[in-house]
Amino acid sequence: MVCVDSAGVGNTVETCRYRDDDERVRSVTFHKAEVRVKAPALRTGKLVTGRRR
């Protein structure tokens, strides 16, 4: 089991234009993101690893 939690959103990386199913053009902005990942042992619940990426 792995637990993932969002720690924040950073600067804009890229903005792309897409055509949706209704043929409308939309802009989607992608941002850098930081997430916290925790992996506890299944039997004991003791934290095996915990990182921010």
- pTM, two decimals, is 0.49
Tokens of 37: 């990942």
In the chain, what are the domain boundaries? 3-52
Number of C-beta neighbours around residue 30 at 10 A = 10
For residues 1 and 37, what is the distance between their CA atoms, to the nearest angstrom? Answer: 11
Q: What is the pLDDT along the chain (53 residues), one digit of tens a residue?
A: 788 887 788 899 999 999 999 999 999 999 998 888 888 888 898 888 766 65
